[in-house]
Amino acid sequence: MNILILNAGSSSLKFSLFAFPSGRRLARGVIERIGEGESPVHIFYDQHRAEYRESVTDHREALEYLERLLPRLGILERFDSLSAVGHRVVHGGERFVEPTRIDEEVIEAIRSLVPLAPLHNPANLLGIEAMRALAPGVPQVAVFDTAFHRTVPPEGYRYAVPDEWYERYGVRRYGFHGISHAYVSREYARLRDVTLKNINMITLHLGNGASACAVAGGESVATSMGMTPLEGLVMGTRSGDLDPGIHFYMHRYVGLDPAQIDRILNHESGLKGLCGTNDMREIERRMGEGDPAAKRAFDIFVRRLIRYVGGYAALLGRLDAIVFTGGIGEHSAAVREAVAEGLGILGVRIDGEANRSSDTGSRPIHAAKSAVELWVIPTDEERQIARETYRLLS
């Protein structure tokens, strides 16, 4: 049973191909800069790497190109031979709290949620509609980033705003990165050979987008992103938590309109707004050269993390593990060390040598005397989507 997983961005298309029930990954790849003239194509399969450049104007052309290329590489005969296609969809609102078989009604419902995720859901729909046109007989499944957080209680997802805002307009916390938080929490339990039901942990997905999640017994009970992915931690280009009054101040006294404020908070804030770059590697390099702006950005990023982890530890009542994942979480020893040092009051102690190891796989990085385990676990959202798709259809 071969399952193709698609993660469509506004100008990119990531894919992975899995064989089930073994769960073996047969191939993965990405087509970048769709619609920008010449699109780089990267494919990894059977320990081989193939790279091409192709003129791809939209997501349907990207998939048509893959349908021609994959047979040439001996990876897949044709899309019609697939058992299923799983799609990552960022926002499922309150309606979609489980993986869902895609039909016209589901597509229209995802489209109705575009105002809640205007940067993501339209791109996800492009991949869905293109694949349905190319392989209409193949079952398609949507797996939602928001679904893992369906277990957050009302006191965790409701905002202190008039009831009408929630009842009529859906103003509430939804949370995101759920596919990643679900994967790394389950992977931790597998690696430790423990039952998730007995574990309280905090998972930190740290990349250009960043979020924290408190997981009790395998279920999300609190998460940092809100109604949109803008709330919470400091991110690459997003501000994270912000006094709402700042929006009105910048509109009334500076003259920025809502669209400008939205663009700045999503694309020109966060690490980039603080020091001119959203690349943590560059920030750490500049810190080493004594750059005060880079140091300030790093410190603000870490302080926000410490505040969230400390708060979530109090909500959980007992904290067994902290898991770092995402580009920064997996690769920045400096961030992990600074966070661990800031959580000393919780008995957190890091093993410096293990933390600085060049190993890129899953590994513990806590000291023997640490009261809380610290782990680095690379996320694999495509594998989690494939598992959910297989589980639904079988």
CB-side neighbour CA atoms (13 Å) of 107:
13
pLDDT at site 392: 96
The answer, yes or no, to whether residue 337 has pLDDT greater than 90, is yes
Q: Are residues 213 and 275 in the same domain?
A: yes
Name the domain boundary from 109, 144, 179: 144
The answer, yes or no, to whether residue 9 has pLDDT greater than 90, is no
What mean pLDDT comes out for the span 27-51? 93
Question: pLDDT: is 329 or 115 the higher one?
Answer: 329
Would you state the structure tokens that stand for residue 306, as one six-digit string? 């410490």
Read off the pLDDT of residues 197-220 as tens digits, 9 standing for 90 and up.
999 999 999 999 999 999 999 999
The answer, yes or no, to whether residue 346 has pLDDT greater than 90, is yes
What mean pLDDT comes out for the span 4-9? 94
Confirm whether 49 is domain-assigned.
Answer: yes
The answer, yes or no, to whether residue 314 has pLDDT greater than 90, is yes
Confirm whether 219 is domain-assigned.
Answer: yes
Confirm whether 158 is domain-assigned.
Answer: no
Confirm whether 76 is domain-assigned.
Answer: yes
Confirm whether 294 is domain-assigned.
Answer: yes
> CA angle, 110 as apex, 109 and 116 as ends, to 5°?
110
Q: Are residues 53 and 198 in the same domain?
A: no
Read off the pLDDT of residues 65-112 as tens digits, 9 standing for 90 and up.
999 999 999 999 889 999 999 999 999 999 999 999 999 999 999 999
Q: Are residues 218 and 72 in the same domain?
A: no
pLDDT at site 145: 96
Confirm whether 151 is domain-assigned.
Answer: no
Sorting pLDDT into bands at 50, 70 and 90, what band is 176?
A: very high
Q: Tokens 């729909």 identify what position?
A: 125
pLDDT at site 191: 98
Name the domain boundary from 84, 111, 144: 144
The answer, yes or no, to whether residue 334 has pLDDT greater than 90, is yes
Confirm whether 156 is domain-assigned.
Answer: no
pLDDT at site 75: 94
Sorting pLDDT into bands at 50, 70 and 90, what band is 119?
A: confident
How far is the C-alpha of 56 from the C-alpha of 62, rounded, in Å? 6
Confirm whether 186 is domain-assigned.
Answer: no
Q: Are residues 246 and 376 in the same domain?
A: yes
Tell me the catalytic residues. 145
What mean pLDDT comes out for the span 306-330? 98
Name the domain boundary from 128, 144, 160: 144
Query: Where is average pLDDT lowest: 14-28, 51-65, 230-244, 256-270?
Result: 51-65
Q: Are residues 219 and 360 in the same domain?
A: yes
The answer, yes or no, to whether residue 117 has pLDDT greater than 90, is no
What mean pLDDT comes out for the span 276-303? 98
pLDDT at site 357: 95
What mean pLDDT comes out for the span 329-358? 97
* Number of domains the chain is built from: 2
The answer, yes or no, to whether residue 120 has pLDDT greater than 90, is no
Q: Are residues 114 and 223 in the same domain?
A: no
Q: Average pLDDT, whole number, for the chain?
A: 96
Would you state the structure tokens that stand for residue 74, as one six-digit string? 């001996």
Read off the pLDDT of residues 125-135 as tens digits, 9 standing for 90 and up.
999 999 999 99
Q: Are residues 325 and 229 in the same domain?
A: yes
Q: Are residues 362 and 258 in the same domain?
A: yes
Q: Are residues 121 and 252 in the same domain?
A: no
Q: Are residues 218 and 114 in the same domain?
A: no
Measure the CA dihedral 360/364/367/368, to 10°. Answer: -140
How far is the C-alpha of 223 from the C-alpha of 233, rounded, in Å? 10
Question: Phi and psi at residue 87, in whole multiples of 5°?
Answer: -120, 135
The answer, yes or no, to whether residue 185 has pLDDT greater than 90, is yes
Kindly give, in sequence order, each residue whose CB lies less than 8 Å from that of residue 146, ignoring residues fewer than 6 positions away.
90, 91, 92, 93, 96, 174, 175, 176, 178
Q: Are residues 207 and 315 in the same domain?
A: yes
What mean pLDDT comes out for the span 295-305? 98
Q: Are residues 210 and 305 in the same domain?
A: yes
Read off the pLDDT of residues 361-388 as tens digits, 9 standing for 90 and up.
999 999 999 999 999 999 999 999 999 9
DSSP, collapsed to helix, strand or coil, labels residue 85 as strand
- CATH code of the domain in which 70 resides: 3.30.420.40
Sorting pLDDT into bands at 50, 70 and 90, what band is 116?
A: confident
Sorting pLDDT into bands at 50, 70 and 90, what band is 11?
A: confident
pLDDT at site 39: 92
What is the extent of the structural domain holding 346?
194-381
How far is the C-alpha of 386 from the C-alpha of 55, rounded, in Å? 29
Q: Is the dihedral of CA 157, 161, 165, 171 positive or negative?
A: negative
